[in-house]
Every structure is written in C-alpha cells, then in structure tokens.
Homo-oligomer: A and B are copies of this chain.
Amino acid sequence: MDRLRESMAEAAQAVEEVIGDLLPEEAGGAETRVFEAMRYAILNGGKRFRPFLVLSASRLFNVAERCAFRAAAAVEMVHSYSLVHDDLPSMDDDDLRRGKPSCHVKFDEATAILAGDALLTLAFEVLAGDATHSDPAVRCELVLGLGGACGGQGMVGGQMIDLISEHQALDIGTISRMERLKTGELIAFSCEAGAILGKAPRPARHALRAYAHDLGLAFQIIDDLLDEEGSEADIGKSVGKDAAAGKATFVSILGPQQARVQAEMLADQAVQHLDLFEENADLLRQVAGFVVERRG
C-alpha cells in the first residue's frame, strides 16, 4: 500500500505540472484575475484520484503517457470546477477546501463562478485537441464521455438532487442514484477514458465502467464516514456538515459500522470486474484497497 501511495504521489505531481502548462497564464488585461482563480482552484496539491484512475486504466492498453496525462488533466479540471461551484454560498456554502479558503472566499463569488466556467470549458478543449490523440474519432468520444458524465444527466443532475434533498428523508436507493450521478459518473469516465484512448474492445470498456461504479460508491461512503468521523485537519475541508444540514447519507441510514462493511463489499466487488485484465490490473486492484483504507 505504501508503494501505491508513493506512485499516486508521483503521478499527482506530474499531473499538476501538466495542468499548470495547460492553464492560461498571462493575459493582455484584467481577465488575468480569472486565470489566477483557475490556478488557485486546481493547483492545490490535491490527491488527483481521478487522474490516477485515468493513468492506471490507460496503462492497461499501452496508451502513450502524453495522451493519458492530457485526459487526466481534463478530468481534474472538471472535478475542480465542480468543487468551486459546489462551494458557492448558494450551493453548499463551504468556506474551506483542501485546507485553504474556497475560491469564492479567496477571490469573490463572481470570479469563482467564472473560474469554474472556464475550467469546464478548458477540459473540453484539452480533450478535443490533437495532442490528446491523433485520431479525432477518439477525441470526440472523450468529449462525449466527459459531457455525459458531468452534465445534467450526470454530475450536475446529482448536485441538483443533493440540493433539493436537504432535510428530506431519502431512501438508500435515492442516495445511491444521487451519488452515482454526482460523483460516480466522473469516476466511471476516468476509467473509461483509458479504454477510449486505447481503443479497447467493448467488454474491456464495460468491465472498467463496472469496476469504477462500484469503486465510486465505495469512495463516496468513505467520504461520508470521513465527514462524520474525520477532523478538518485530516481531510482539509469542513466536516460534520452533512449531519448539520440534516442530509441523509449512507452513514446516517446504515450507521458507521454497516456503512464501512458496505464500502468494503463494494471494493471487493469492484475488483472482481477486473478479472479479464489478469495481472495487468493489479494497480487498479490496489486502488480499490486504498479507497476503503484512506483516512483523508
């Protein structure tokens, strides 16, 4: 597991560099402020869990590193944009993100909205650019995959359900669906991106999606547990907010013990989808272990 953490940390640093190169920097005028906000929102030493999935899945199909890194950067841009918008006062109203003031606190609301918009836009540009893959059909598939994962029928839809559902007694099925849309689809795309880049046959692609769906749910349950049990210092964002907001989560319904059992079961199940890749998927198997063992 230490070995995994090490290669995750290495990958995170490499991804950070790629993202830094892709972000706009100098401008002719006052719009530099929104570039600064974009950099602030994404170049923050995050774990880069989704990019690591892109890179690990890409390795299964011998995808060129350069291509995998660009796709990884695009996914992280979307993840970062979603955090910037979710943290806004009219959304989750969160002042702290990864141990630092949220983007709208550091800058202002308008700048944060614009920075999120620009990060989302840039993600699609990165995927559609010919440096990401020589075959434009592959690039279109990436754009479509990312769009499906993060639009109204994906992440945005999940966030809408989440906002509406505050102070409502949700059943476990609704929570699962909300989490699948809100975080699961982007995690699934992260894995699928490797298969798209590698022009993998359909069964491999489906297997990766199935793995990622179980993994994503396990990831979310552990997130909920950390929100309930963790400290701000450990996880770098405000904690106990779900309970305070009266939000139904896996933990509030199942209780912490059963929730952990559920996450472990999902991680096991995730790993089983990887059988067809044999030992090539050992990295992704370890990731599943990491997801349920993480403390932040």
Contacts and interface: CB of A to CB of B under 8 A. Distances in A.
Given A128-B128, A128-B140, A152-B34, A159 B91 contact: no
A280 to B, nearest CB: 29
Contact of A143 (B114, B128, B151): B128
Given A27-B153, A152-B118, A125 B143 contact: yes
A111 interface: yes
Contact of A108 (B90, B118, B178): B90
Given A139-B140, A143-B125, A161-B30, A152 B35 contact: yes
Contact of A117 (B85, B109, B128, B137): B85
Contacts of A30: 160-161, 164-165
A157 interface: yes
Q: Classify the interface of chain A: helix, strand, loop or mixed.
A: helix
A233 interface: no
Nearest to A111: B160
A99 interface: no
B130 A140 contact: yes
B121 A151 contact: yes
Nearest to A37: B160
Interface residues of A, number: 58
Interface string A114-127: 10111011101101
A113 B125 contact: no
A45 interface: no
Given A128-B144, A129-B144, A160 B90 contact: no
A241 interface: no
Nearest to A24: B152
B150 A121 contact: yes
Given A85-B113, A125-B143, A140-B136, A152 B29 contact: no
A251 interface: no
A129 B142 CA distance: 11
Contacts of A150: 121
Nearest to A91: B110
A117 B178 CA distance: 18
B24 A153 contact: yes
Interface in A78-95: 85, 88, 90-91
A74 B247 CA distance: 36
Nearest to A130: B140
A124 B124 contact: yes
